[in-house]
Amino acid sequence: MVLGETEIVAQVKEAVNIAKEHNSVHSYLSGLFQMSFAAAKIVRSKTAINNISISIGNAAVDLIQRNTKNLPLESILFVGAGKMMQQIVPYFKEIQVNKKTIINRTLNNAKTLAQTINASYLGLSNLADVINDYSIIIVCCNSNTSFLNNEIFKNVLKEKELLIIDLSMPLITNINLLEFPNIKLFSIDDIAGIVDVGIEKRKLASIDANIIINEQIEEYQNWLKKRGLSPLIKALRNHAENIRLEVLSIAQNQLQNGESADEVIKQLSIKLTNKLLHEPTVNLCISQKTDVTTNLKLEFESNKVHQDELVSLVKHLYNLNLG
């Protein structure tokens, strides 16, 4: 639902771990998941897709960081504890602020939300008593009156820098406060603008992400091919080992019978070479033959293609240069 959101990766990892505990992940599927996790890690480190604000909470943090260069990030007051504020507040959990407070009409709701970011909490009736102690105010609640006005800020209107993010509809903050140059007021439209721009930037970043993903897909497919060759490679090695043991047994018997060691070693090398190459050579020659009883052109062409493929394959496998 959210382009570039990494939370899903953690959820998938947890699911895979549970599946492994119940022995329900085949090695092929396990390999696929491991490469998908690797792709996610590379995307996070090599693209900007996770560093672009596309949530309201992230955008609020971004907006504050952009506009607090001359404003000490010392204290934040959250007014309201509804659904939107519940989405915003967790983004401030890791931000280093000396004082964070949540104010709400229903004290229990304020308490529950405050616990998520280790903040203090108060009832809405305390707002006028404490609001002037904060340099950043985020407000989102329902009200028919603009109660953040000249009266409530009368003691600090010209004394300090103040940043207000009002996400209420309609605004709780009286727009007359914009008359004061030391007060910055942002609304839901400003937040939406950051989110919209972020979505477009993430779409651009996703182009690089898709390149990385495709590279990982190719790597996984190569890994699958190697896994598919394992039975063939094992059979090939077993075949060669059987030939080696057969030739070695003959050589050991010859030595026990008193034959010359030099001659035994020479014969061993010749027999080993002949036996290893006998079947490939015979099958390569057979592929060149056509059925003389039918002598069909189509069959001849088919055999010719087969023989050409084998020739190319043998040249490749043995790294042969025919000059």
DSSP 165-182: EE--SS-SB-GGGGGSTT
Give the bridge partners for 164, in sequence order: 137, 185
Higher pLDDT, 75 or 71: 75
Q: Give the pLDDT mean for 72-82.
A: 85
Of the candidates 61, 86, 93, the residue with the CA atom closest to the CA atom of residue 163: 61
Q: Give the span between the Cα atoms of 213 and 200, in whole angstroms.
A: 20
Average confidence (pLDDT) over 44-48: 85
Q: What is the pLDDT of residue 60?
A: 87
Checking if the pLDDT of 158 tops 80, the result is no
CA–CA dist 191, 307 (Å, integer): 69
pTM here?
A: 0.52
Instruction: Give yes or no for a contact between 75 and 135, defined as CB atoms under 8 angstroms apart.
Output: yes
Q: Cα separation of 289 and 282, whole Å?
A: 11
Of residues 291 and 157, more confidence is placed in: 157
**pLDDT for 108:** 93
CA atoms of 65 and 106, how far apart (whole Å): 30
Is a pLDDT exceeding 70 seen at residue 296?
no
The confidence score (pLDDT) of residue 1 equals 55
The mean per-residue pLDDT over the stretch 188-209 comes to: 84
pLDDT tens by residue, 211-261: 999 999 998 888 888 777 778 888 888 989 999 999 999 999 999 999 999
In the chain, the percentage of residues whose pLDDT exceeds 70 is 91
Least confident of 142-146, 178-182, 284-288: 284-288
Q: What pLDDT, on the 0 to 100 scale, is given for residue 323?
A: 66
What is the tens place of the pLDDT at every residue in 94-137? Answer: 777 888 999 999 999 999 999 999 899 999 889 888 888 888 99
SS3 content of the chain, % helix, strand, coil (to 5): 60, 10, 30
* Cβ-contact 69, 41 below 8 angstroms: no
pLDDT at residue 297 in the model: 46
| Residues 323, 304: Cα–Cα separation, whole Å | 22
